[in-house]
């Protein structure tokens, strides 16, 4: 098997970003899922069972669970990151990786080229810090319109970012406001800051033809932008479909699409309710006996959500291209 990669190295789009391997979209622990897929846990990770969110008035909503809410991992080409560990595992399994291929016109078995149109946008900064392990979030339209800001730290590294819906102008100014707001609730130093930016997609429906995995197929949380779990799961399903001679889109539709549809409907209601949705969400999470189980229920697809998905997708606007056919983009994994 050969992987054709546009960039010159693995994980090059990331700069040491701290991100979460989440457990709230499924009741199965994500590390258990990776074990079942045969993916070795060769990357550094820190289990978080608690975090604190704040509203626009900086009122705190602490969340604690007996279950792991998410595993904090680093992204990028550095040693110990998720990306470098996956590369090591792939090479050990006999995969050949060809870097620096800017365009590719041959036949491909799997397409994993990232998002094709923005639904969420992010700006942030990575830095070294003495701040101990921390997971904080602020839900306030004044610093993150229809989104949120977060501050993560672990093992001497920190990431602070603002996530918002596509189309928001001048997010850098919102980032400056977010830094100031976080400094009101926790003292932290920022050493050697490295800025970053990115976009996230959303699900518009299953496609056809060549399997598109991860963000290339729109498999991402339309609420908060998390997508690592779905990327790994759809990549596994694509490999399984090829090995077993099965239809990838049928597998993805059964195993991943339901939660994607649910997140689109959740996002629509969140947008429509505005600040009221933020307050309800934070109160629900903070008063839940188990916040992780609470979010599992919120993310679970129901029959009404399935019916509402087409309407929600249209109302959110900015419809992304639906993945179809065998046309190849510039960066392809085969």
Question: In angstroms, rounded to a whole number, what is the distance separating the alpha carbons of residues 73 and 151?
Answer: 14
Pairwise CA distance, residues 202 & 7, whole Å: 24
pLDDT for the residue numbered 248: 97
Q: What confidence score (pLDDT) does residue 25 get? A: 94
How many other β-carbons are positioned within 10 Å of the β-carbon of residue 266?
20
pLDDT reported for residue 166: 65
CA dihedral 71, 72, 75, 77 (to 10 degrees): -90
Pairing relation of β-strands 70-74 and 18-22? Answer: antiparallel
Whole-number Å distance between alpha carbons of 222 and 266: 8
177's CB contacts (< 8 A; 6+ apart) are 142, 143
Q: What is the pLDDT of residue 128?
A: 97
Q: Torsion angle, CA of 121/61/283/33, rounded to 10 degrees? A: 60
pLDDT on residue 171: 81
For residue 99, the SS3 value is strand
Cα separation, 57 vs 121, in Å, equals 24
pLDDT number for residue 276: 76
pLDDT at 115: 86
List of domains in the chain: 18-74+107-119+202-316 (no CATH), 120-200 (3.30.9.10)
HEC sequence for 235-271: HHHHHHHHHHCCCHHHHHHHHCHHHHHHHHHHHHHHH
Q: What per-residue confidence (pLDDT) applies to 13?
A: 87
SS3 for 112-163 is CCCCCCCCEEEEEEEEECCCCCEEEEECCCCCCCCCEEEEEEECCEEEEEEE
pTM: 0.90
Instruction: Per-residue pLDDT tens, the chain, 334 aa: give them.
Output: 888 888 888 988 898 999 999 999 999 999 999 999 999 999 999 999 999 999 999 999 999 999 999 999 999 999 999 999 999 999 999 999 998 887 776 788 999 988 877 888 999 999 999 999 999 999 998 899 889 999 999 999 999 999 998 666 678 889 999 999 999 999 999 999 999 998 888 999 988 899 999 999 999 999 999 999 999 999 999 999 999 999 999 999 999 999 999 999 999 998 888 777 788 888 888 889 999 999 999 999 999 999 999 999 999 874 443 433 333 333 322 2
Sheet of 120-128, strands arranged across: 60-64, 50-54, 134-138, 148-154, 157-165, 120-128, 191-200
- Interatomic CA distance for residues 188 and 327, integer angstroms: 48
Please classify residue 100 by burial: count the beta carbons closer than 10 Å to its beta carbon, then call 0-12 exposed, 13-18 middle and 19+ buried. Answer: exposed
Distances (CA, A) of 275 to 58, 68, 232: 14, 28, 33
Contact 72, 16 (CB under 8 A): no
Sorted by sequence, the CB contacts under 8 Å of residue 243 that are 6+ apart come out as none
Q: Do the Cβ atoms of 222 and 203 come closer than 8 Å?
A: yes
- Of 158, 186, 212, 237, nearest to 328 by C-alpha is 212
Q: Residue 285: what are its φ and ψ, rounded to 5°?
A: -65, -45
Cα–Cα distance, 53 to 170 (Å, whole number): 24
């Amino acid at each position: 098997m050969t992987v054709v990669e546009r960039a010159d190295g693995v994980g090059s789009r990331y700069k040491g970003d701290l991100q979460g391997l989440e457990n709230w979209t499924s009741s199965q622990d994500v590390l258990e899922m990776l074990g079942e897929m045969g993916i070795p846990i060769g990357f550094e990770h820190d289990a978080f069972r608690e975090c604190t969110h704040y509203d626009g008035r900086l009122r705190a909503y602490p969340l604690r669970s007996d279950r792991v809410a998410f595993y904090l991992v680093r992204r990028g080409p550095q040693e110990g990151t998720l990306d470098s560990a996956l590369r090591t595992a792939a090479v050990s399994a006999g995969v050949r990786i060809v870097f620096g291929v800017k365009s590719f016109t041959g036949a491909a078995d799997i397409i994993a080229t990232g998002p094709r149109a923005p639904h969420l946008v992010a700006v942030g900064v990575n830095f070294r810090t003495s701040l101990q392990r921390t997971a904080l979030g602020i839900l306030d339209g004044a610093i993150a319109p229809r989104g949120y800001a977060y501050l993560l730290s672990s093992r001497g590294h920190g990431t602070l970012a603002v996530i918002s819906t596509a189309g928001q102008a001048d997010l850098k100014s919102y980032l400056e406001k977010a830094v100031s707001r976080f400094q009101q609730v926790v003292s932290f130093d920022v050493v050697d800051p490295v800025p970053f930016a990115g976009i996230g997609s959303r699900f518009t429906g299953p496609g056809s033809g060549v399997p598109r995995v991860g963000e290339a197929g729109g498999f991402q949380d339309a609420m908060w932008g998390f997508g690592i779990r779905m990327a790994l799961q759809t990549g596994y399903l694509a490999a399984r479909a090829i090995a077993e001679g099965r239809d990838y889109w049928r597998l993805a539709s059964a195993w991943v699409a339901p939660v994607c549809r649910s997140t689109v409907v959740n996002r629509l209601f969140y947008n429509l309710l505005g600040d009221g949705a933020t307050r309800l969400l934070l109160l629900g999470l903070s008063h839940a006996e188990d916040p992780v189980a609470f979010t599992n229920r919120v993310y679970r697809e129901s029959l009404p959500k399935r019916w509402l998905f087409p309407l929600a997708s249209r109302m959110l606007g900015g419809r992304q291209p639906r993945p179809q056919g065998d046309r190849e983009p510039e960066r392809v994994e085969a």
